[in-house]
Structure 1
Amino acid sequence: MGRRVATCCSEHKLDTLIDAYIKCGKSKEALILYRSNYRQNISFKRHTFVGLLKACAELRDVEAGGRLHLQISRKGLLRKDSYASSTLIDMYGKCGLPLKAQEVFDTLRNRDVVTWTALISAYAQVELFDQAFSCFEQMDSAGVLPNSFTYTCLLKVCGSNCALKKGLQLHAEVMRMDLVKTSPFIGGALVDMYAKWGVISRAQEVFDVIPVRGVVIWTSLIAGYAQLELGQEALKCFDCMQSEGIKPNSITWASTLKACGSVRAAKIGSDIHAEINKKGVLKDDLVLGNALIDMYVKCGVLDKAQKVFDELPVHDVVSWNALIAGCVQHDYCDVALECLKQMQVEGVSPNAITLSSGLKACGTTGAASMGIEIHDTIARKELVDGDLVISNALIDMYAKCGLLSKAQTVFDELPMHDICSWNSLITGYAQAGETERVFSILCSMIEEGGQPDHVTLINVLYNCGHAGMIDMAFMFLKRVIECYSFTPEMQHLTCMVDLLARSGQTETAVLAIERMPFQPSSVMWHSVLSAYRKWGDMELGSKAFERTCELDQKHAAAVVSMCNLYDTYKRMESLYTKIFHFIFETSTSMRR
């Protein structure tokens, strides 16, 4: 309809119609109307030009923005209208073109605080933080005083860049000017900055001194707690905000949903989902839709995550990443790989996060051929260079698929290694039973300055256990404790007990269990029980069975081992007594 009206309307009516679309928040329709009449060289009013530039910024439409730039220049607005020029700079900044923003800025004769702030923001948007601060210093040298929006932008830069010294200086400056209490944007930026630094207590202190707290301030605090995975605190803030009569916006909901996911508060998340549906905002807000998918995935409610995904009109890479990661997390790896294929059919290009999840799914399912395809995609996109996370995912995938030579090649091509790189390779060789290679890699890791962690220790102990190298296992454990101030965890001690039991040193294994600084697990006693079956010790085997059942009445493996042990001695009558007693106790406990 807009196009038909545009072709028969006068210039004045067309200007009015576009302006009406913009005021109603229909940026897309306004730009469609503008494009259809561009060749007519219509001269819009100043406020219509500004509105169209804002629409271009919102929709990241740099092509239409460039045309508007040309028209505004011809009309001479850049020289005489500070607001129009700053909006143009802002448009280029939001479209990720700070150099174009700088070009516009350089042509201006009069540069006020609005144009300076727009340029600072343009550099900040693409994380060119040094250039943003350089602009601020030039602005100060030019004698232009910053306003609350300038400070807000710079505080956000400090938060993103962890610029502690500059951030503290800016905080002191806005405190002297008493801007924290009067500007909700500065207060919110301060809260956000401290939260990104991980100093949430300081963020709370800033929040507490703000007299009037609107949705912006509340959202900053909620987002801060959510970012640090302090979900319960974030949800308390959300409750307090609502009790004060402050209505949440889409950003508030997205941050609160993140908190719900971190603490698995599916009920609260579902209630927020219902509220969002009442408002009818989901179809127009992909960020909110993605937050819902992520929340349901982390809460383990995959059917609802899939339902939200299916109801979204469009999907971006974040939507797919949330769904694929959820499938991998809950062991639906085949489904995850199907999603990865479908995503590309729909024309959405996977990023490093998507491909890392895909590699994990390939490793879990042993889908080596698809893993190799993903590796080819990564190579084409040149994602390996400098990305240790995706390189480690490749090593892990190849190791789990038994392609150790390929895992070794990826490892060798890395300019540096972290503990995940070393552990993935060690795990692969340990599971393949290549004992010498495990210790060779371990020595290389230590020579390069790497420190073994609990995963390294588990793999080395596992390797020693299956190779019968009990002395080596104890020597390595002793060295790790002494050299790296390492405190063994339950998994490590369980591994050592299993190693002792396998080698026939059952009495030493029992002694180790009884002298542990914490309660032993049923798995430990089951290792001993399995050993008694192998070595044929009836009396101590019965004791191990009783201890296993005391700790875990559902440990079916213990029953099987005990059956095998009794079968060895043909003492079926006593076996029946013990097994029936076990079943009776278990069923009674479950009824309670």
Structure 2
Amino acid sequence: MPSNFQVRRLRGARRIHGGFGFSIKEMMKPSEVIKLCVDSRNPKMAIRYASILPQADILFCTVINEFGKKRDLKSAFMAYTESKAHMNGPNMYIYRSIIDVCGLCGDYKKSRNVYHQDLLSQNVTPNVYVFNSLMNVNAHDLNYIFQLYKNMQNLGVPADMASYNILLKACCLAGRVDLAQDIYREVKHLETTGVLKLDVFTYSTIVKVFADAKLWKMALRVKEDMQSAGVLPNMVTWSSLISSCANSGLVELAIELFEEMVSAGCEPNTQCCNILLHACVEARQFDRAFRLFRSWKEKELWDDIERKNSTDDNLNADPTSQLCITNMPNAQSHVHQIKFAGNFTFKPTITTYNILMKACGTDYYHAKALMEEMKSVGLTPNHISWSILIDICGGSRDVKSAVQILTTMRMAGVDPDVVAYTTAIKVCVGCKNWRLAFSLFEEMKRFEIQPNLVTYSTLLRARSTYGSLHEVQQCLAIYQDMRKSGFKSDDHYLKELIAEWCEGVIQNNNQQQEEATAPCNRTDIGKPRCLILEKVAEHLQKSFIESLAIDLQDLTKVEARIVVLAVLRMIKENYALGESVKDDIVIVLGVSKVEPDLVQQNFEVRDAITKLLQYELGLEVLTAGPTTVLDEVAGSESSNMSLTKLNGIMGRNKYTTRKPAAVQRLKVTKKSLKDWLQRNRGIIEYR
């Protein structure tokens, strides 16, 4: 960056030599002077210098663009503002330059400000090039650029081929195949009338639109249109065509297109080769993927692929010329022969090796050898590489090696990410090593790695049944952590699992399993609501306390049953560990109001819970008597009100004259609870 002295010397040279009639451009090229000003972040000086030269308009654009290359949007706008002061009228080159720089710096909103404030508000009609730049910068917003396209038509500015290409690009980004088809039909019609001539960019973009949507037949029809119009496909066209077939599982057709591309003289790039390798791996044609890779490394091309049935002659042929036999699912085996056709430069990337590692199946040593080869060619395995290696260990049920790879990653200078940890957790769950899976989850949290939805779902679905209170508490803690992180999931599976664990209290009480589990098969617990799980979590995560209150407000009778059984099972397991019962259990049913629906719901819950406790478990249940609370307060906090809150509110009733409401409560006596625990002492079912 030039010093202040250099800038001052430039200013002095301008004054001195200007006074003698010497031109500064004879001493220094204008581009060099502008570069000095840009490097010194001095847009005003750059514009002042450019204004004294004959080609000032062009140099203004140069200054703006140079600041854009440095991602200095603020200086670019200062230069834009200064340049407008030296213009006699609207200059479309400058408008286009500042809009392009907005796109280069990723600030599409400022490009819109230029259009609306400096052009439309000043009654300046942009030309087609300004419109094209503006549409290109805002290509991610399909609605906005179609609005610009309509503005072009209203202002009488005819669209050119670039305009339609940008519209197609926007459709491609938005995944709007229907709109892309309409535009394609329109430009084809304009071509027949001689207004436009479709170019390779138009064809390539529409091919990519169809390829991304896996409409490979339509993509091939566009290729035929290209050939009929005498337009040669470029690398983008061929890559999109190959990708459309590969993504649709048409490996044979993808290879045919690859051969056609090479025959047409278009040299494939590494990305194109990776697409073909990925197609083979997805089709589980692993042997073919490795043969392709080896042939490309040796700079060999496919010249011809002959399909014929396997014969004894083929099997007895020389091993060096053996045919590549690839088995495809639900199809006959095909025999392919590789012939040398020519050379092309193929440089494998990390993605190439990652694709091939997936083709190793459960062969850990083959995958490890590929990682070593990757290092030998100057590539560094990334997170995906290590995650694939972990997954391969899972395929061979080698949990120890899978977890060890996380340590190896750190030693190699690559910190495990959420994908690596989630893959390792999947391996542990798949091998039913739940303790290690939950341990890895805790390790993630210690390293401040945020789990994703796959991580949470894998852990929550790890078990088919719960055996202990600790296991339920683990899963509920993960569930609550997932909810706090903003993830949503289907709660039905977890509800069913916890309901089954809760019903273990009944089964241990020598009741018939059908009688016990029948209520839990009701569709009530399949609702997309998480209140029941939150209630269970709230109670099960409490430490043992002298006075235990169970809050059943806003729950259905089936959900209330599960919450009560969950608490009883917790008490039972704690009792087996030496915890004693110190008080009665108080069950808060809800606030009785004048609404008939609420009264009926409270009655159903009370009746169901009373039958559960008295007839199925043999506990003594008493009506604790209604407790009055303020109607207004009860209505606002009824979903979360604990016994402590109720008592607090009751204490304030003497200071108010508002109409009270009655809180319905049940009480399970301490004596009957102790008798029940002693009758079933030591009988805790672990599944």
Is 1:271 aligned to 2:182, yes or no?
Answer: yes
- CA gap of 1:441–1:415, structure 2 versus 1, over 3 A, is same
The match for 2:163 is: 252
Deviation at 1:480, TM superposition (A): 1.8
The match for 1:174 is: 80
CA distance, structure 2, for counterparts of residue 242 and residue 169 of structure 1? 34
For residue 377 of structure 1, what is the amino acid of its counterpart?
Answer: W
CA distance, structure 2, for counterparts of residue 395 and residue 318 of structure 1? 23
Secondary structure class of the residue paired with 1:177: helix
Is 1:377 aligned to 2:284, yes or no?
Answer: no
CA distance, structure 2, for counterparts of residue 491 and residue 230 of structure 1? 30
The TM-score with structure 1 as length reference comes to 0.59
The match for 1:394 is: 353
CA distance, structure 2, for counterparts of residue 352 and residue 312 of structure 1? 24
Q: Is the contact between residue 458 and residue 492 of structure 1 (CA under 8 Å) also seen in structure 2? A: yes
Q: Among residues 180, 186, 208, which one is paired with 2:94 in the alignment?
A: 186
CA distance, structure 1, for counterparts of residue 207 and residue 443 of structure 2? 46
What does 1:232-247 align with in structure 2 at a 5 Å threshold?
232-247=143-158
The match for 2:273 is: 355
For residue 83 of structure 2, what is the amino acid of its counterpart?
Answer: M
Is 1:442 aligned to 2:406, yes or no?
Answer: yes
Deviation at 1:350, TM superposition (A): 0.7
- CA gap of 1:284–1:240, structure 2 versus 1, over 3 A, is closer
CA distance, structure 2, for counterparts of residue 436 and residue 342 of structure 1? 47
The TM-score with structure 2 as length reference comes to 0.52
Cα deviation digits, residues 37-73 of structure 1 (max 9, x gap):
xxxxxxxxxxxxxxxxxxxxxxxxxxxxxxxxxxxxx
Structure 2: gaps of 5 or more residues = 1-22, 40-44, 300-343, 508-512, 529-687
Q: Percent identity?
A: 15
Q: Among residues 199, 216, 220, which one is paired with 2:129 in the alignment?
A: 216
Structure 1: gaps of 5 or more residues = 1-109, 121-128, 131-135, 552-592
Deviation at 1:252, TM superposition (A): 1.6
CA distance, structure 2, for counterparts of residue 400 and residue 246 of structure 1? 54
- CA gap of 1:202–1:445, structure 2 versus 1, over 3 A, is farther
CA distance, structure 1, for counterparts of residue 225 and residue 199 of structure 2? 12
Deviation at 1:364, TM superposition (A): 0.9
CA distance, structure 1, for counterparts of residue 54 and residue 432 of structure 2? 74
What does 1:59-70 align with in structure 2 at a 5 Å threshold?
none
The match for 1:466 is: 430
Supply the RMSD in Å over aligned alpha carbons: 4.5
Deviation at 1:461, TM superposition (A): 1.5
Q: Among residues 453, 460, 466, which one is paired with 1:490 in the alignment?
A: 453
For residue 291 of structure 1, what is the amino acid of its counterpart?
Answer: T
- CA gap of 1:514–1:499, structure 2 versus 1, over 3 A, is closer
Q: Among residues 292, 297, 306, which one is paired with 2:211 in the alignment?
A: 297
Q: Is the contact between residue 526 and residue 544 of structure 1 (CA under 8 Å) also seen in structure 2? A: no
Deviation at 1:266, TM superposition (A): 2.0
CA distance, structure 2, for counterparts of residue 332 and residue 548 of structure 1? 45
- CA gap of 1:346–1:376, structure 2 versus 1, over 3 A, is same
The structure with the largest alpha-carbon Rg is 2
Q: Is the contact between residue 368 and residue 401 of structure 1 (CA under 8 Å) also seen in structure 2? A: yes
Q: Among residues 263, 273, 288, which one is paired with 2:202 in the alignment?
A: 288
For residue 491 of structure 1, what is the amino acid of its counterpart?
Answer: V
Aligned length: 417
The match for 2:554 is: none
The match for 1:147 is: 56
Q: Is the contact between residue 456 and residue 479 of structure 2 (CA under 8 Å) also seen in structure 1? A: no
The match for 2:220 is: 306
Deviation at 1:439, TM superposition (A): 2.4
For residue 260 of structure 2, what is the amino acid of its counterpart?
Answer: Q
Is 1:366 aligned to 2:284, yes or no?
Answer: yes
For residue 126 of structure 2, what is the amino acid of its counterpart?
Answer: R
What does 1:562-577 align with in structure 2 at a 5 Å threshold?
none
Identify, as 1 or 2, the structure richer in helix. 1
Q: Is the contact between residue 501 and residue 528 of structure 1 (CA under 8 Å) also seen in structure 2? A: yes
The match for 2:109 is: 201
Deviation at 1:199, TM superposition (A): 1.4
Moved more, 185-194 or 370-379: 370-379
Q: Among residues 353, 361, 371, which one is paired with 1:408 in the alignment?
A: 371
Q: Among residues 316, 328, 343, which one is paired with 2:246 in the alignment?
A: 328
Q: Is the contact between residue 500 and residue 508 of structure 1 (CA under 8 Å) also seen in structure 2? A: no
- CA gap of 1:472–1:244, structure 2 versus 1, over 3 A, is farther
Q: Among residues 483, 508, 521, which one is paired with 2:490 in the alignment?
A: 521
Q: Is the contact between residue 169 and residue 205 of structure 2 (CA under 8 Å) also seen in structure 1? A: yes
Q: Is the contact between residue 215 and residue 244 of structure 2 (CA under 8 Å) also seen in structure 1? A: no
CA distance, structure 2, for counterparts of residue 118 and residue 342 of structure 1? 46
Q: Is the contact between residue 409 and residue 415 of structure 2 (CA under 8 Å) also seen in structure 1? A: yes
The match for 1:499 is: 462
CA distance, structure 2, for counterparts of residue 317 and residue 349 of structure 1? 8
Deviation at 1:362, TM superposition (A): 2.1
After superposing on structure 2, the runs of 4+ consecutive aligned residues of structure 1 that deviate more than 6 Å are 110-113, 116-120, 502-506, 535-539, 547-551
Deviation at 1:308, TM superposition (A): 0.9
Q: Is the contact between residue 194 and residue 203 of structure 1 (CA under 8 Å) also seen in structure 2? A: yes
Deviation at 1:297, TM superposition (A): 2.4
For residue 103 of structure 2, what is the amino acid of its counterpart?
Answer: A
For residue 430 of structure 1, what is the amino acid of its counterpart?
Answer: G
Deviation at 1:513, TM superposition (A): 8.8
Q: Is the contact between residue 327 and residue 333 of structure 1 (CA under 8 Å) also seen in structure 2? A: yes
CA distance, structure 2, for counterparts of residue 282 and residue 545 of structure 1? 66
The match for 1:31 is: none
The match for 1:339 is: 257
Secondary structure class of the residue paired with 1:269: helix
Q: Is the contact between residue 294 and residue 323 of structure 1 (CA under 8 Å) also seen in structure 2? A: yes
- CA gap of 1:448–1:405, structure 2 versus 1, over 3 A, is closer
Q: Does 1 or 2 have the higher relative contact order (CA < 8 Å, sep 6+)?
A: 2
